Amino acid sequence: MEFSAEAKASILVDALPYIQKFYGKTIVIKYGGNAMINDDLKNKVMHDIVLMKYVGIRPIIVHGGGPDITDFLQRIGKKSQFINGLRVTDKETIQIAEMVLVGKINSEIVSRLNGLSVRAVGLNGKDAKLIIAHKKLAAVHDDNGKIRKIDIGFVGEVEKINTDILNDLLDQNYVPVIAPIGVGIDGAGYNINADYVAAEVAGAMHAEKLLLLTDIEGIYKDYNDKSTFISTLTQEQARRMIADGSINGGMIPKVEACLCSLIKGTAKTSIIDGRQAHSLILELFTSQGIGTQVIR
């Protein structure tokens, strides 16, 4: 569909209040799902981030990469094992995870942004101790129904985010691109769920917004009934829906990430459909937005 010059101007004018609202604000984007696999969507996400940068927003990108890690492990004949959604990560697996996340995915995102005349810098938790982490134990039920914790290797959770390096980069007009690898006090690397890293970064930076790109439209009271879509969810409502099972499966860590981020200082959070072209722009610069926002 071709728009007239007047219609294009009207679109820009309609976006002006949102451009003014977010000017100079930090927004953290968790980049994952199909938007990282489909090449056309990759390009659209990168263009969205470039536009955000050029209208005065300070974006920070945190990316995932689980499918790429699984694919590489399969190629070397190593089977992936998960416990409660967490990848069992032995010494060889963490080395491969770092190689894939830092060497492949992170560098590709940085290269794409640099190619669009945005100065991007790739980081992981070991850089300037950006992400201090400690070992995360998996909670499992034994035969008696009791919960016990088990060691699943080099899987971590965030202890502290070094905001100094992020603020320095943002102040120098760079876009930080973060791979979800943390570092322990002993120097060991830890693979961390990217949703939680994005939440911790957004909270520590007191970001205006955390945007989680995923592969569904948002949150439903009943996923099988599309008329039950929820555009806005409070923290209390979100916790109730997790408790009663309305929010389940892979959506739990995303909603928990939103809740964590809000508690730690982020103004607003949104779970949006990364399969939709220009989803970031639609969420930020239109009155209706897309996805589900989780608020205080």
Residue 1 has a pLDDT of 58
Half-sphere exposure of 77 (CA within 13 A, CB side): 0
Question: Which residues lie closer than 8 Å to 90 by C-beta, 6 or more apart?
Answer: 153, 154
Strands 292-295 and 86-87, bridge-based pairing: unpaired
Joined tokens for residue 167: 């603020």
pLDDT at residue 165, rounded to an integer: 97
Per-residue pLDDT, 36: 87
Tell me the pTM. 0.94
Tell how far CA 114 is from the center of its chain. 20
For the record, the structure tokens of 160 come out as: 């502290």
Report the pLDDT value the prediction gives residue 121, as an integer from 0 to 100. Answer: 98
Bridge partners, 175 (sequence order): 120
The DSSP-derived string for 191-223 is E--HHHHHHHHHHHTT-SEEEEEESSSSEESST
Maximum distance among all alpha carbons in the chain?
69
Closest CA to 232 of 258, 206, 208, 257: 258
What SS3 class is residue 102? helix
Calpha distance 94→155 (Å, rounded): 8
How confident is the model at residue 143, as a pLDDT?
Answer: 73
Q: What is the pLDDT along the chain (296 residues), one digit of tens a residue?
A: 566 888 878 888 989 999 999 999 999 999 998 888 888 999 999 999 999 999 999 999 999 998 899 999 999 999 988 887 788 999 999 999 999 999 999 999 999 999 999 999 999 999 999 999 999 998 887 777 788 889 999 999 999 999 999 999 999 999 999 999 999 998 999 999 999 999 999 999 999 999 999 998 999 988 888 889 999 999 999 999 999 888 987 888 899 999 999 999 999 999 999 999 999 999 999 888 889 999 98
The Cα–Cα gap between 81 and 90 comes to 10
Residues 6+ apart with CB under 8 A from 129: 162, 183
Give the closest residue to 86 by CA, choosing from 104, 98, 69, 107: 69
Q: What's residue 34's pLDDT? A: 82
Give the pLDDT of residue 9.
Answer: 87
Range list of β-strands (E), the chain: 26-31, 58-63, 82-83, 86-87, 120-124, 131-141, 147-161, 175-179, 181-183, 189-191, 209-214, 219-220, 229-230, 232-234, 268-273, 292-295
CA 292 to chain centre: 15
DSSP string, 41-73: HHHHHHHHHHHHHHTT-EEEEEE--HHHHHHHH
Q: What is the pLDDT of residue 270?
A: 96
What pairs with residue 155 in β-bridges? 191
Beta-strand relationship, 181-183 and 189-191: antiparallel
pLDDT given for residue 2 in this prediction:
66
